[in-house]
Amino acid sequence: MDVLIVGAGSMGTWFGRAVDASVTFADVDPDAAAAAAEAVGGAVGGDVDSLAGDGEGRYDAVCLAVPMGAVERAIEAHADRAERALVDVSGAMAPPLSAMAERAPDRERVSLHPLFAPERAPGSIAVVRDRAGPVTDALLADLEARGNDLVETTAAEHDEAMESVQAAAHAAVLAFALAADPVPEGFETPVYEELRELVEVVTDGTPRVYADVQRTFEGAADVAEAAAALAAADDDEFARRYREAAEKWRDDAADGDRGADDAGDANGGDGA
């Protein structure tokens, strides 16, 4: 199988390494395409601008591994290069799937969101099979063979979850980083230590990626509103909101335990 990967950053390089295919990289930076090709033993397609609209060079599949804000433009430019399938790993799902359906209604279409940084692979990958088929099935099988867990979902469910999983979580951690100060050794509490470790994780990345998340998904405003409400609350209001937070996450944990019990019952029933 021949796969063109548009976007030779860390995520495109991860995808090229994870699939069993002949991969070609193209990027706005030809040097980045060359580096990714060398890293995974692929070929170099060069500058994406030189590919767009030239009518030459078609592939079994095209994978769009570009930032969220650029994925729809990339689909418009490169969908015709896909003979059989289009895949994206941009991190959002509804916009690219809509663009793929409009531009390539007769081809296989899958949106993927690896829920980990590439250097921490393997891990869980959210998957929406908008139009499944043998090419995308083979690519997904390759990802599973690499030890990844495929989490089947819908675009709406995924994008709504990212408002909490990414936008709100990142905003809360960065807000703590900006509002709090390092303290002398010995003054740390367990909560402070865990937050400090999260700050190190979140700030050891690329600002543009986190900015893309905030621009794409809602959630940060809810964090700001909640923090302002806590800051302004009297004792009774603070206690009410404290209990509200505890109950929300206690209910979530209980739902998870019930799901685990159900799964155990189902497995036990078939003799496994």
- Integer angstrom CA distances of residue 117 from 12, 157, 202: 12, 21, 11
Phi, psi at 86, each rounded to 5°: -125, 140
24 with 84, same domain?
A: yes
Dihedral in degrees, nearest 10, Cα atoms 45, 74, 7, 105: -80
What pLDDT is attached to residue 154? 98
Query: Phi and psi dihedrals of 182, rounded to 5?
Result: -60, 145
CA distances to 153, 160, 235, 242, 251 from 247, in Å: 26, 21, 18, 9, 6
Q: Do the domain assignments include residue 15?
A: yes
Residues 61 and 184 in one domain: no
**pLDDT tier, 266 (very low <50, low <70, confident <90, very high otherwise):** very low
Same domain, residue pair 54 and 107? yes
- From the list 146, 136, 79, the residue with the least C-alpha distance to 112 is 136
C-alpha distances out from residue 24 to 12, 114, 132, 240, Å: 10, 20, 23, 56
Point out which residues pair with 87 in neighbouring strands: 63, 110
Q: Are residues 74 and 166 in the same domain?
A: no
Asked whether residue 187 is domain-assigned, the answer is: yes
Q: Tell me the mean pLDDT in the region 177-189.
A: 96
Q: How far apart are CA 140 and CA 149, in angstroms?
A: 10
Boundary residue ending a domain (128, 153, 178): 153
CB 85 within 8 Å of CB 60? yes
Domain boundary among 94, 121, 153: 153
Q: Same structural domain for residues 146 and 203?
A: no
134 in a domain, yes or no? yes
Instruction: Give yes or no for residue 253 having a pLDDT over 70.
Output: no
Three-state SS string over 171-231 comes to HHHHHHHHHCCCCCCCCCCHHHHHHHHHHHHHHCCCHHHHHHHHHHCCCHHHHHHHHHHHH
| Containing structural domain, residue 183 | 157-266
In a domain, 76, yes or no: yes
- Please check whether residues 82 and 190 belong to one and the same domain: no
Q: What CATH number is associated with residue 79?
A: 3.40.50.720
Q: If you write DSSP's letter for every residue of 28-50 in order, what string do you get?
A: SSHHHHHHHHHHHT-EEEEEHHH
Helix (H, G, I), strand (E, B) or coil at 158: helix
Q: How many CB atoms lie within 10 A of CB 146?
A: 15
241 part of a folded domain: yes
Q: Are both 98 and 230 inside the same structural domain? A: no
47 and 116: one domain?
A: yes
Asked if residue 272 belongs to a domain, the reply is: no
Q: Which among 108, 126, 153 is the end of a domain?
A: 153
**pLDDT per residue as tens digits for the range 184-214:** 999 999 999 999 999 999 999 889 999 999 9
Residues 122 and 176 occupy one common structural domain: no
Q: Do 251 and 212 share a structural domain?
A: yes
* Predicted TM-score (pTM) of this structure: 0.85
Which has the minimum average pLDDT: 19-33, 76-90, 91-105, 242-256?
Answer: 242-256
pLDDT classification of 49: cutoffs 50, 70, 90: low
Number of domains comprising the chain: 2
> pLDDT at position 255, please?
62
**Residue 54: inside a domain:** yes
- Is 229 inside any structural domain? yes
Distance CA(69)–CA(92), nearest Å, equals: 9
Let me know: does 89 contact 11? Beta carbons within 8 Å: yes
